[in-house]
A = this chain, B = another copy of it.
């Protein structure tokens, strides 16, 4: 159990977090309130109780996706540490952990602190830990012996900076050797770099613990390249184990299994296949780290998931698919030309780097239920606070209509919103989650 629902020293309970009435996208209230209070206010999206534009999460779809992924990793006997950078919503971290996740993956010291303060006690920081203040944040959290943390190393300089810092603090930091493909992002490229990092680690035997191997395969685009890279990671883990390099085991300092981890949201099935049966002669946790599955999308991750559904036998045999659980709602504010409507939705409200939001639903206030938008309605551009919607002369669209948009790239949509309403199928607000970006 990695979540506490009680207040700890300096900790927070996601349920108790107060919602600032000056946040955008919510209903009317005068004083800061809790999510439970907000639910009692009985807001309904279709009754125009929310100030649009707003982002909403669909409760049932999120729960479906959560169970889908947990079942998927269970079939492979591997562990799940969903990437928390996607949502940065501690309440969703808690659901993921309660649903069976092994831990939470994060990208920065700041994100790790947010998760810890909300009760998360097992974190892979899938990134280098650099800089005095960032190291201090992690060092403070490591004063709690129940906090299991590891971060990445890929350079001797980085290792020596960590070693000096944690030696001065007389603390022990677990690190994972990051491997990276040529032309990729971070990560060790060749044996010379690897030896330099291992030699640096050997300079700080009391403070740095080599605890596993990490990759991010998502910088590669071809399955064959990805499989070869993953096999290289498996071979590296075996070699390090055989050489007695996993010091956490050999020195007996920690009973934690060695970690072998990879997987973004597009190739987690291939990582599962390549990593699942790995034997290194030591206790080993294989950990997958997809983040976008929880809300999914209808853009880049729908496309990636369609590939997974095609190529992966376990995904194929599962009855259902991931469902898009995050939408944006906004008003038609102007129809100045016959073929163009202007929507009160902008780059401040939605990701736009991997395709623009896609019109899905139309609702005229006072009407029955939302209806699907015509296929020819498409956004053609966005500005800070506006979007251009291509329509045709004679379409049934009016200023004041509400449009629901599906999205592409959940990460860069979540970070536009400080609180997000969670809806039931009747568009009733049943919860409000807070984000920390």
Indicate if the CB atoms of B333 and A130 lie closer than 8 Å. yes
A365 at the interface (CB under 8 A from B): yes
Indicate if the CB atoms of B131 and A52 lie closer than 8 Å. yes
Q: A384 — which chain B residues lie within 8 A by C-beta?
A: 85, 107, 411-412
When C-beta atoms are compared, the residue in chain B nearest to A9 turns out to be: B30
With A51-B137, A347-B412 given, is the CB distance from A132 to B28 under 8 Å? no
Indicate if the CB atoms of A28 and B335 lie closer than 8 Å. no
When C-beta atoms are compared, the residue in chain B nearest to A384 turns out to be: B411
The answer, among B27, B50, B388, B398, for a CB contact under 8 Å with A185, is B388
Which A residues fall within an 8 A CB radius of B? 10, 22-25, 27-28, 30, 48-52, 85, 107-110, 113-114, 117, 127-128, 130-134, 136-137, 154-155, 157-158, 161, 180, 182-189, 193, 331-337, 342, 344, 347-348, 352-353, 365, 383-386, 388, 398-400, 402, 411-412, 415-416, 418, 436-437
Q: A337 — which chain B residues lie within 8 A by C-beta?
A: 182-183, 189
With A128-B333, A158-B400 given, is the CB distance from A437 to B51 under 8 Å? no
Q: A185 — which chain B residues lie within 8 A by C-beta?
A: 334, 336, 342, 383, 386, 388
- Give the complex CA separation of A412 and B383 in angstroms: 10
With A130-B399, A385-B85, A400-B131 given, is the CB distance from A336 to B161 under 8 Å? no
Q: A52 — which chain B residues lie within 8 A by C-beta?
A: 130-131, 133-134
Indicate if the CB atoms of A132 and B48 lie closer than 8 Å. yes
Q: A398 — which chain B residues lie within 8 A by C-beta?
A: 157
Q: Top 4 closest A-B pairs, CB basis?
A: A48-B132, A157-B399, A128-B333, A186-B334
- Give the complex CA separation of A28 and B135 in angstroms: 11
Indicate if the CB atoms of A336 and B180 lie closer than 8 Å. yes
11 residue pairs bridging A and B, Cβ less than 8 Å apart:
A24-B437, A48-B132, A51-B134, A52-B134, A85-B348, A85-B385, A130-B333, A131-B365, A134-B331, A157-B399, A158-B334
